[in-house]
Structure 1
Amino acid sequence: MSTASPVLSRQANDPSFPNIWQELKWRGLVHVSTDEATLEEALAGDPITYYCGFDPTAASLHLGHLVQLLLLRRLQLAGHKPLGLVGGSTGLIGDPRQTSERVLNTKEVVSEWVESLGNQVSNYLSFDGDNAARMVNNLDWTGGLSALDFLRDIGKHFRVGTMIKKEIVAKRLNSEEGISYTEFSYQILQGLDYLNLHRDYDCVLQTGGSDQWGNLTSGTELVRKVEGQHVHAIGTPLITNADGTKFGKSEGNAIWLNPEMCSPYTFYQFWLNTADADVADRLKVFTFLTRDEIAEYQQKVETEPFRREAQRRLAWEVTSLVHGEEQTQKVIDASAAIFGGGELEGIDEDTLTAVGTELNHVVLPATDDHSIIDLLVKSELVGSKSEARRTVKDGGAYVNNVKITDEAQSFGSNQALHGRHLLVRRGKKNMAMVSLESEV
């Protein structure tokens, strides 16, 4: 693995800060931590080894994980040595959720997801140089551990009274469903991770979301009790929107980093739709722009919000980071073409299909030709055939960006993009996607 990626090679921390700790604080990436003064001193000194764990509870990472991935990268750019941990064993157990017990996945599924997540994590780190990243899997040190050894050597260092005070555990204990011994034991396994990484790599810092603080401190306490060493942890804040809603979902669906689960087009549109009140904070957390650059964009939001320059820069930066610059440009070109600024024929089918998910999308038989009147009505761009006829007469009906003036004109697979898709538009901005599908 190398730093050949143009996105990685372009990344840098902001030199206007005296040290990386001060930059992390300014970017809003520190919600809670172990002793701040000692941690700042450690990060400003010689390179240290640090880690973050990612459990394979799905086939892909999502935007919440991107916060951790970028924190790992910022610390690496400061000269420190990252360990990317994918939880082959903790993924078999499952971190306790706020509401109910997890459904355990099979070992085969977890193994597949371990590989998938490991590849994703690797994309955000450099594996070259003196502080090259390394990937680890906690199944390597737990797979052969017997239950007796686990209880004797590790379990004896944990006090049940302390464990049940952890926020999520306490919440689950007070619920009707309660919590299983399996999920209750998760924090011990995560503590064991830190102990092993400290022993094998001299790891002295773990990062994670602030909702994981109980698990993070399980590790710091275990290292202190067993090794007599004081190690560190950083809990990042949970990202929320200015209106208090949960960040990282679009239409109720998670924004995944895997393009097969969330298309680059949908991903780009998510960032482009960032509210003015949130965009400066998103630039701080999810991009490597300097504070002077972010201040300029914040000023533009205040003086010329209609230009949405900050949102466009945010969407470009994060989509390029996750999907690459070439794919991001394709998405931008597709967006322009859809609104009449380019050739629709140049849009690949995957992107066009993704566009359909963002619009009102209807499926009609490919065996029939469909009049412009039917297309407008069935795509719900108008409420009636008479309104559709007025739209055509007034010059407001378009199919694939071509103005339609004949209300009798029909469309089928021969006129469709990639033989399947018709982009139907009323006026400048009211659009729908009609897909022509053959009956099976």
Structure 2
Amino acid sequence: MELIELSSVIDVLVERGFIKQFTHEKETRELLEKEKVTFYIGFDPTADSLHVGHFLALMLMSHMQRAGHRPIVLVGGGTAMVGDPSGKTDMRKMLTPDDIEHNVQCIKKQVGRFIDFEDDKAIMANNADWLMNLNYVEFLRDVGVHFSVNKMLTADCFKQRMEKGLSFLEFNYMLMQSYDFLELNKRYNCTMQLGGDDQWSNMIAGVDLIRRKEKKPAFAMTATLLTNSEGKKMGKTVGGAVWLDPAKTSPYDFYQYWRNVEDADVEKCLSLLTFIPMDEVRRLGSLKDAEINKAKKILAYEVTKSVHGEEEAKKAETAAEALFGAGKDMSDVPTVAITKDMMGGSLLDALVYTKIVPSKSEGRRLIQQGGIVVNDQKVTDVNATVKETDFKDGSMMLKRGKKKFYKITIE
């Protein structure tokens, strides 16, 4: 792992476009130049895999570790019992303790690919260790006394929920996250919290709690959210989130997601999601027209390698080249299966069954726009059926849109 000079880590993060806000910019810069600090980023285990949005946070954490600072990966086994209202228009689904514990274990495995935990270079913690056994009355007297309800209600994470209704359950989330920072400060001398900019209100509250209660310095800085040139969050597809777990988003589909980003987003993605030097990032991002595809291939390969390893990245790259070139190796194309009794039935039904499309209406729209191709033949009839003659050597090739390929087999 290449180490970054301590004095340059903020400059590196700013140059690459990570940093959005500081609570105390001057003091933070001075601290990171002079000392090795312990910092943390929290991940609530609301699913059994991290997704592309979390990947940016992991890259931020990795840059900091390369500069000699010690990360704490905080898994929110306790806060997940409540649910973070930030960025949500409705209350999150309540998870059972068993669901949360399963998700925690899955996330722990994924994080190890990005963060070096050897020789105490990083810490893995779970806030269930201190939140689940709190005495509520003592907590209110010890922590709640430092929070102004009037001030809390001005926070963005609460403001946008006031019209639809904010449960008292979720209203506690800010206190719990602030308490996490306080607890990590006491246990590990953690002085800094990092996270997405949607966590700004919660992070300010944690910094304020430590400074009020402990009379000690504490800092926070937020990272920009991963958005495209139109300001929309990246990492979403028609089928849902782009996951880091290969069982939820295959390495090939993951590769193809980055291979197909808009031209205007290539430089930003290379900057935030790879370790390619910025001079090269700017050169690749400045390529025009057909040349920009070279940059997209590099982006797709580098990000897939980081998440899934070099072998899977090479497989995905080879499969993509085979499909777009003259090759015929389909071994790494995503495979989906239909049942025998679907033979002779509606192609639309098969598309929905295999989750190639999320709904019949979406399937009809794609067919009407020429976006479904079976074995190199464009499907023009929304009432088309699945035919035995379409299956050669037990499988049928289907293309959705310009670049999404599937191998369909029969169960």
Contact 1:365 1:436 in 2 (8 A): no
* Aligned CA-pair RMSD: 3.0
Counterpart in the other structure of 1:111: 101
Quick check: 1:25 aligned with 2:25?
no
Quick check: 1:423 aligned with 2:397?
yes
1:202 corresponds, among 189, 200, 205, to 189
For 1:131-210, what aligned pairs fall within 5 Å after superposition? Answer: 132-173=121-162, 175=163, 177-210=164-197
- Partner AA of 1:208 in structure 2: G
Quick check: 1:218 aligned with 2:205?
yes
Note the C-alpha offset of 1:369. 10
Cα distance per residue 1:151-205 (max 9 Å; x no partner): 12111121111111111212212x1x31111100100000000001101111011
Quick check: 1:128 aligned with 2:118?
yes
What secondary structure sits across from 1:104 in the alignment?
coil
Which structure is larger by alpha-carbon Rg, 1 or 2? 1
Quick check: 1:352 aligned with 2:334?
yes
- Partner AA of 1:143 in structure 2: M
Contact 1:52 1:84 in 2 (8 A): yes
What secondary structure sits across from 1:172 in the alignment?
coil
1:53 corresponds, among 42, 56, 59, to 42
Contact 1:366 1:412 in 2 (8 A): no
- Partner AA of 1:333 in structure 2: T
Q: Any unmatched runs of 5+ in structure 2? A: 346-362, 369-373, 378-386
Contact 2:397 2:407 in 1 (8 A): yes
C-alpha separation between the residues in 1 aligned to 2:31 and 2:404?
A: 55
Cα distance per residue 1:93-133 (max 9 Å; x no partner): 1001431111211111011111111222222101124x611
C-alpha separation between the residues in 2 aligned to 1:84 and 1:293?
A: 31
Contact 2:143 2:179 in 1 (8 A): yes
Counterpart in the other structure of 2:408: 435
Q: What TM-score do you get using the length of structure 2 for normalisation? A: 0.84
> Number of matched residues?
378
Q: What percentage of aligned pairs have identical amino acids?
A: 35
C-alpha separation between the residues in 1 aligned to 2:111 and 2:216?
A: 28
What secondary structure sits across from 1:204 in the alignment?
strand
Contact 1:172 1:179 in 2 (8 A): yes
Contact 1:248 1:254 in 2 (8 A): yes
Counterpart in the other structure of 1:40: 29
Contact 1:364 1:435 in 2 (8 A): no
Q: What TM-score do you get using the length of structure 1 for normalisation? A: 0.78
C-alpha separation between the residues in 2 aligned to 1:275 and 1:76?
A: 31
- Partner AA of 1:323 in structure 2: H
Quick check: 1:310 aligned with 2:283?
no
Q: Any unmatched runs of 5+ in structure 1? A: 1-8, 357-361, 371-378, 384-395, 400-408
Cα distance per residue 1:269-306 (max 9 Å; x no partner): 1101111111111111111111111122123x13x544
Contact 2:7 2:34 in 1 (8 A): no
Counterpart in the other structure of 1:322: 307
Counterpart in the other structure of 1:100: 90
1:333 corresponds, among 314, 318, 329, to 318
C-alpha separation between the residues in 2 aligned to 1:382 and 1:64?
A: 31
C-alpha separation between the residues in 2 aligned to 1:410 and 1:141?
A: 60
C-alpha spacing 1:268/1:208, structure 2 compared with 1 (3 Å): same
Contact 1:172 1:178 in 2 (8 A): yes
Counterpart in the other structure of 1:253: 240
C-alpha spacing 1:106/1:221, structure 2 compared with 1 (3 Å): same
